Structure 1
Amino acid sequence: MHFTATRTVRFAECDPAGIVFFPQYLVMLNTFVEQWFDEGLRISYAGLIGARRTGLPTVRLEVDFTAVSRHGDLITFTGAVEKLGRSSLTLAVRCHAGPDATGELRYRARQVLVCTSLETHRPQALPDDVRQALLPYVMAEVPTPENPA
């Protein structure tokens, strides 16, 4: 199963050339993960960080930018869990043009998040409710260049 979210590229996300300034894609990626927790997993990301004092910092990030996006473009993010460990998860995320995941690929990312205590800043096991909510999103196959997700 995948989580999908669609959004419009905003003026503030673009550089003087009128295309998305690449660091803004990383902000969009973080927003997508937060939306996935809130809407897909039905676990409040703000509650996880705030009341539960559980962090999910990115410890590794690989991104391939494949095409530009412009102000006003509709783009769709699709994500799945590539690997689910005791205290970490690897997400595979794709960004496509248009209202679904069939448009031109704009970028793909592989992001490793580690569950941490915000009190000690040390790794800890993923909370049981988070792990259970993530299980349906674990991919059967890892995408390859020949078979991208």
Structure 2
Amino acid sequence: MPGQVFRKTVPVRFEDCDPAGIGFYPRMLMMVNRLIEDFFAEALDCPWHRLHGRENRAVPTVRLEVDFKGPLYQGDALDLELRVLKVGNSAFTVAVAGSVGGAAKFAVTQVLAYTTAGPEIAASPMPDALKAALREFSAG
């Protein structure tokens, strides 16, 4: 049974692409990072200011793969969809698809680790509540 999908639509701005439709890849990755931050706050009830602050935890990226599939233009409404592909003990994998009007623009697969924060970063087991919330968005 497929899990839930977290969705957002964001505008493509002048700073995100050039007139030829070539998206600036750092900006695309920033959109993905913002989506993940919103996902944590809105879908998982785990806002990053609490996670990184009071809980002294982090979710850094340990693997990232991006496929660019089509042009992006200023003024486009970019539909972003996040699905959880895998939930482990201290890491999870997400897939983010970006599209405009149903046409694929990019696809991202990202592995994030649940870690301690600070100078001695180390993987840490995710709390059961966080794993359960992630699994609500998992297809497997």
Where does the alignment leave 5 or more consecutive residues of structure 2 unmatched?
none
CA RMSD of aligned residues (A): 1.4
Q: Residue 130 of structure 1 corresponds to which residue in structure 2?
A: 130
Give the % identical residues: 37
User: Using the alignment, how far apart are the partners of 2:82 and 2:90 within structure 1?
Assistant: 19
Letter of the 1:115 partner, please give it. Answer: Y
Check 1:45–1:112 CA distance in 2 against 1; reply closer, same or farther (3 A cut): same
Aligned residue pairs total 136
**By how many angstroms is 1:92 displaced?**
1.1
Normalised to the residue count of structure 1, the TM-score between the two structures is 0.85
**By how many angstroms is 1:79 displaced?**
1.0
Choose which of 80, 95, 99 in structure 1 pairs with 2:98. Answer: 95
Higher normalized contact order (CA 8 Å, seq sep 6+, divided by chain length): 2
User: Using the alignment, how far apart are the partners of 2:19 and 2:11 within structure 1?
Assistant: 18
Matched, 1:23 2:32: no
User: Using the alignment, how far apart are the partners of 2:12 and 2:53 within structure 1?
Assistant: 29
User: Using the alignment, how far apart are the partners of 1:11 and 1:96 within structure 2?
Assistant: 17
User: Using the alignment, how far apart are the partners of 1:109 and 1:138 within structure 2?
Assistant: 16
**By how many angstroms is 1:42 displaced?**
2.0
Matched, 1:81 2:84: yes
Check whether the contact 1:20–1:71 (CA below 8 A) recurs between aligned residues: no
Normalised to the residue count of structure 2, the TM-score between the two structures is 0.90
Q: Deviations over 1:53-112 (max 9, x none)?
A: 1110001001100001111100111111111000000101111113xxxx1000111100
The secondary structure found in structure 2 opposite 1:109 is strand
Q: How does 1:1-149 map to 2 (within 5 A)?
A: 1-15=4-18, 17=20, 19-98=22-101, 103-119=102-118, 120-140=120-140
User: Using the alignment, how far apart are the partners of 1:28 and 1:127 within structure 2?
Assistant: 27
Runs of 4+ in 1 over 2 A off after TM superposition: 14-20
User: Using the alignment, how far apart are the partners of 2:21 and 2:139 within structure 1?
Assistant: 35
**By how many angstroms is 1:122 displaced?**
0.5
Where does the alignment leave 5 or more consecutive residues of structure 1 unmatched?
141-149
Check whether the contact 2:9–2:78 (CA below 8 A) recurs between aligned residues: yes
**By how many angstroms is 1:17 displaced?**
4.1
